[in-house]
Structure 1
Amino acid sequence: MAHQILEVDSLIKSFGQKHLLKDIYLKCSIGEVIGILGRNGTGKSTLLQIIFGSLDAENKSIRINGEFLEKAFSDGDKIAYLPQGNFLPNGLTVSSVIRIYISDESKRNSVATNARIAPLLNKKISALSGGEKRYLQVLLILNLPTAFALLDEPFSQVEPLYRADIKGLIDLHKQEKGIIITDHDYVNLMDVSDKTFLLTGGALKPIQDRKQLVEYNYLPPEKSETQEETVDEHFIIDKQTSKDLGLSINYDEESLLALFEKPASKGGKAYLEKLFGSPTKSKTILQNRQESIKFFQSNEFLLNLDRKQLDFIAVYLESGIAVSPSSYYSSLSIYLKNKYRTSNNYYIQETGIQHVFDFLKSALQLANKIQDLSDTWYLSDLAYQIQEQLNSSNLRDFMDNYGQKPLYLHFSEFDSILRKKGKEPLLWLLERFYEFDAYNAVAQTSRKLNLSFPEYEYTQDSLIDIEGLFHPKLEKAVGNDFSISATANMCFLTGANMSGKSTFLKAFGLGVYLAHLGFPVPATKMKTSIFDGLFTTINLSDNINHGLSHFYSEVKRVKEVASEIKNDKNLVVIFDELFRGTNVKDASAASSMIISAIAQQPGSVYIISSHIMEIAQELEKQKNIFFKCFDVRVVNDEAMYTYKLVDGVSKDSLGLHIVIKEQILELLKGKTEKPLS
């Protein structure tokens, strides 16, 4: 065939107020393959249909060797077009289709003797697999007597083996044709194309490599070294720690979870609860969660969920309603029966189908927005996966046909697609929306409570450096700065009654826990190593059922934590008032002995509070122990609590002062002085 050039320029196409295509210029010669990539909805199919002449445009100039074409399809030897969907009659055999579509006898024989097609000649089109059908369609289009071929997603819905074969067909036939391809499979498209373009913002951008596709936000960024780690290493806490810090998965007033904004959907609420109960020491997971929450915090109004829609879809997909055969007769029968007698099952199915269609449109819009706005690998990759799921054969067929075909004739077909073939990808898409809903709820909480995101230190040495730490449940909390490291890994904390010791310890524990969820923390700034676990002993009680006194419960608890420390774990350990359940003499000796022994265990970090200030002098001999206390001042016989952490050991003793101020003795004396009746 003589050398020919197809040129397209000055092409403008709008839908309503939206300019889908503007000032498009494209040139393709015989012997050349032009590949066009683009997200769903950017106009790839529209562009090919305009070139083919089956769709009008506000402005266009389409020429072959300078000759203008208005309707290319009307000239049979100019351009052939492969649409996305199946155009072959399902009731015909493969051999019949070949006879109808290929008039040239030599070409017909070539197609019929093709190694892939020959075994299928007696099969009906409806009996072919997706790959077999697409291969046949491409083969037919490329064997038509035209100078150019437009292939709209030739690799879509095709198994890998047939994708390779289709690439072979394109390579073979480009010797005699100019070929323009659109597809989402960027690897195969770029491999088979001589030139590649990305359709974005209504224009074609030349693409040389994958890096440019990332720069245009078509593909997610490359994984970093930390993101290569995929194993979720669980962060250890136990029942006592959960009780001390209010980490139960419920919404009572004691639970930290009750502070968080509730997600819009039931699935989002369940996903948040799953996240809240899944602390981790995986760098990848922490980074992914944190970046996702930051994204939704920065894009406050991006996620506009329809709670009723999502909840109804979940009910519809999991309903026990029988899936009817996918046929016109079945659809019409169900429709007429419902007309005669209203059926609740029909309502669930009909409403579910409508909600799924609206949901899929929303999913596509959200994925596009995330790709435009996010520069992080995890969310960009999720957005790309969402688009891949939407391009799967089942969901794609449903989205293309719903609203275009009468529901009363296709009801069973749509229901079968969504609750059988398309159920798995639909459930995956729902789960992603639940995930986004949960991240969005955490982002809202972060804004409301003025939380900040921790910075992770990936070195071997233990470190927690925190500024402005506060307890998130206190309305007028006082912030405190605190730092603990491998070289100074034990803090001995003292302070008078009600000075803020226990509140600080709980706030510190919550900060560590939230940081290992990938959540924002109650502080203005935090830098932390990733630890193996967190153990606290703050609200320990006796165990009557097991006959354990408070003191013996304390001893057992210290032994439990000591066992974890000796297992070469990198832990955060918090003890509030060691051995308060025994007399002062024993408590002093036991505290000094245990604290000294724990301080010699490297790797972990420890905060231990105590009322027994006298042991501080003995502990000062160990260089890795440092001392903090809460400042309290007595002014005009009134205790003034600053709730500020300062260096040193507290000298304040306000217990007796508090008893006197409460006038308990006056109350008791007053009662004994009353006259007997």
Structure 2
Amino acid sequence: MNKTFFADKQTLEDLNIPGRHKNNSIARIFDKVVTAGGRKLMDTMFQSPLTNADEINQRSGIFKYFTGKAFQFPFTESEFSVMENYLGLGSGSNKVTVGLGILSKKVMQAAAQDTQYEHLNKDICKTIDVLNRFHDFMGRFDDKGSPYSSQIAQIGHIYNNPKLKWLKQEQGVKVLPLFKLIRYDHLLRTGLHAEMKQLTGLIFQLDVYIAVAAVACAKGLSFALALPKDKNVLTVKGVFHPAIDHAVGNSIAFDREANVVFLTGANMAGKSTLMKSFGISIYLAHMGFPVAATFMEFSVKDGLYSSINVPDNLDLGYSHFYAEVLRVKKVAEEVAAEKDLVVIFDELFKGTNVKDAYDATLAITEAFSENRNCFFVISTHIIEVGETLRERCSNFRFTYLPTVMDGLVPQYTYRLTEGITTDRHGMMIIENEGILDIIRGN
């Protein structure tokens, strides 16, 4: 069994990936499924990204196939939940036992106006209706050799089972007589229990495929091409944050000869958003999900680590700086274990003085860069670090997000530019806000 792509809790929180109930989370963006089973399957996919290029491409190929279909899932949540709940109660009993149980419900209905028999009858009729409607829906798939053809064949095999010959004959049924009720209940929940379980699983998959494809179309997402690990390349063009409307896209590329992107720019220039956008694309690409980019191809990696919003820990007595140090140590241990990783560091060592931050950022960045099977995005305000690294290292791409002054007002392009920033507008912004005048009482 293949291992899954790893991202720890800190990384997932930095990128706001899990939690379909969280505002602007990535999971919430894709939470358009209808069925409870589809929702569980979606959660599993988010919890277990893939590290096998063929599996990733196979899944993304199915999603891409559905973007060209514009299918709507054929049931509402309430309609499907009746069948989902009914089949989930599989009796596991023989036909005689099932018959006696239903007969007792029939007697109780007549003797004490009990509603169990009526509810069972309605549930089976609704299940028959859903099964027939799904069969009709699958008749719209005539694409032989498509990425979804294997699932189409599996569904067709289930419906062609001789034990389901009666299904079409009962299309539109509202009430079943007692003996048919006993026969169909035993068949659906016992005799065909394995087939119905397989079928509902395939329906859950279809629910996810249709939902994710719809999101891809609505948000203008694309599908990444996964390459074997030993290719050791990563190119993403026009990457943007999927939760931001009208976001500006940027392009980033890595290979063994240029495995570090060194990013500078002012605080409001968009560095953190760019790094989060990039990290999200890495995670979604390993899921086989559509990514917020115009183009992406990547060699599969073992995992993703970020250090964007590292909190202090007052309970353990950790200062912000010490929490940063522990985070860097954790990543260093993973890199030293010869794992192929993508690492994102936003403003290393901002919890200490400028001299220490300069020395530490320089030493740590240079040491990490020697691990050519890992890709790093590292940002800093200390542009002097970049100048020193440019002299020492040949495997860096130096980039920055510019600040353009409109008179005394800073404007931000959010467009990644080659080089190291020369922007030094911090004091001008402070003066524009009149902070010194406020302090002096002017």
- Fold-level similarity (TM above 0.5): yes
What residue is the counterpart of 1:196 in the other structure?
A: none
CA distance in 2, matches of 1:286, 1:244: 24
Mapped contact 1:629–1:650 kept (Cα < 8 A): yes
Shift of 1:593: 0.7
1:381 aligns with 2:150: yes
Mapped contact 1:367–1:384 kept (Cα < 8 A): no
Shift of 1:275: 1.6
1:655 aligns with 2:433: no
Compared with structure 1, are the counterparts of its residues 417 and 542 closer, same or farther at alpha carbon in structure 2 (3 Å cutoff)? same
Unaligned stretches of 5+ residues in structure 1:
1-230
Shift of 1:521: 0.6
Find the partner of 1:365 among 136, 156, 159. Answer: 136
CA distance in 1, matches of 2:170, 2:270: 65
Question: Aligned partner of 2:40: which letter?
Answer: A
Over the aligned positions, Cα root-mean-square deviation in angstroms equals: 2.5
What residue is the counterpart of 2:45 in the other structure?
A: 275
Please list the CA deviations of residues 209-252 of structure 1 after superposition, one character each: whole Å capped at 9, or x if unmatched. xxxxxxxxxxxxxxxxxxxxxx4330011111001001223321
Shift of 1:321: 8.1
Shift of 1:289: 1.7
What residue is the counterpart of 1:66 in the other structure?
A: none
1:664 aligns with 2:439: no
Compared with structure 1, are the counterparts of its residues 553 and 254 closer, same or farther at alpha carbon in structure 2 (3 Å cutoff)? farther
CA distance in 1, matches of 2:175, 2:351: 77
Mapped contact 1:363–1:386 kept (Cα < 8 A): no
Shift of 1:633: 1.3
Find the partner of 2:408 among 624, 637, 640. Answer: 637
CA distance in 1, matches of 2:410, 2:202: 53
SS at match of 1:357: helix
CA distance in 1, matches of 2:105, 2:180: 11
Please list the CA deviations of residues 78-102 of structure 1 after superposition, one character each: whole Å capped at 9, or x if unmatched. xxxxxxxxxxxxxxxxxxxxxxxxx
Mapped contact 2:14–2:307 kept (Cα < 8 A): yes
1:338 aligns with 2:89: no
Please list the CA deviations of residues 42-96 of structure 1 after superposition, one character each: whole Å capped at 9, or x if unmatched. xxxxxxxxxxxxxxxxxxxxxxxxxxxxxxxxxxxxxxxxxxxxxxxxxxxxxxx
Please list the CA deviations of residues 516-573 of structure 1 after superposition, one character each: whole Å capped at 9, or x if unmatched. 1101111111121111111111111111111111111111111111111122211111
CA distance in 2, matches of 1:322, 1:337: 23
SS at match of 1:373: coil
Find the partner of 1:304 among 62, 65, 74. Answer: 74
Mapped contact 1:261–1:444 kept (Cα < 8 A): no
Compared with structure 1, are the counterparts of its residues 375 and 303 closer, same or farther at alpha carbon in structure 2 (3 Å cutoff)? farther
SS at match of 2:230: coil
CA distance in 1, matches of 2:404, 2:26: 32
The equivalences for 1:589-628 within 5 A come to 589-620=359-390, 621-628=392-399
Question: Aligned partner of 2:293: which letter?
Answer: A
Question: Aligned partner of 1:240: which letter?
Answer: Q
Shift of 1:285: 2.5
Aligned length: 439
What residue is the counterpart of 2:243 in the other structure?
A: 473
Please list the CA deviations of residues 358-417 of structure 1 after superposition, one character each: whole Å capped at 9, or x if unmatched. 2222333344433x125335x211111112222345444666678699622222222122
Question: Aligned partner of 1:389: which letter?
Answer: I
Unaligned stretches of 5+ residues in structure 2:
none
1:541 aligns with 2:306: no
Q: Percent identity?
A: 32
SS at match of 1:616: helix
Compared with structure 1, are the counterparts of its residues 405 and 477 closer, same or farther at alpha carbon in structure 2 (3 Å cutoff)? closer
CA distance in 1, matches of 2:208, 2:338: 35
Shift of 1:473: 1.7
CA distance in 1, matches of 2:251, 2:92: 62
Question: Aligned partner of 1:614: which letter?
Answer: E
Mapped contact 1:325–1:416 kept (Cα < 8 A): no
1:418 aligns with 2:188: yes
SS at match of 1:491: strand
Compared with structure 1, are the counterparts of its residues 493 and 464 closer, same or farther at alpha carbon in structure 2 (3 Å cutoff)? same
CA distance in 2, matches of 1:401, 1:636: 77
Please list the CA deviations of residues 486-542 of structure 1 after superposition, one character each: whole Å capped at 9, or x if unmatched. 110011110011001101000000011110110111111112111111111111111
Please list the CA deviations of residues 315-340 of structure 1 after superposition, one character each: whole Å capped at 9, or x if unmatched. 22234989673687776664354245
What residue is the counterpart of 1:488 in the other structure?
A: 258
What residue is the counterpart of 1:218 in the other structure?
A: none
The equivalences for 1:84-163 within 5 A come to none
The equivalences for 1:60-71 within 5 A come to none
Question: Aligned partner of 1:523: which letter?
Answer: A
The equivalences for 1:174-323 within 5 A come to 231-301=1-71, 303-319=73-89
Compared with structure 1, are the counterparts of its residues 586 and 328 closer, same or farther at alpha carbon in structure 2 (3 Å cutoff)? closer
Shift of 1:666: 3.2
Mapped contact 1:461–1:603 kept (Cα < 8 A): no
Question: Aligned partner of 1:345: which letter?
Answer: Q
1:585 aligns with 2:352: no
Mapped contact 1:295–1:374 kept (Cα < 8 A): no
TM-score w.r.t. length of structure 2: 0.92
What residue is the counterpart of 1:390 in the other structure?
A: 159
Mapped contact 1:490–1:625 kept (Cα < 8 A): yes
Find the partner of 2:344 among 561, 574, 577. Answer: 574
Compared with structure 1, are the counterparts of its residues 319 and 345 closer, same or farther at alpha carbon in structure 2 (3 Å cutoff)? farther
CA distance in 2, matches of 1:461, 1:357: 51
Question: Aligned partner of 1:418: which letter?
Answer: L
Mapped contact 2:82–2:127 kept (Cα < 8 A): no
Mapped contact 1:291–1:376 kept (Cα < 8 A): no
SS at match of 1:633: strand
Question: Aligned partner of 1:380: which letter?
Answer: S
CA distance in 2, matches of 1:546, 1:413: 64
Question: Aligned partner of 2:402: which letter?
Answer: D
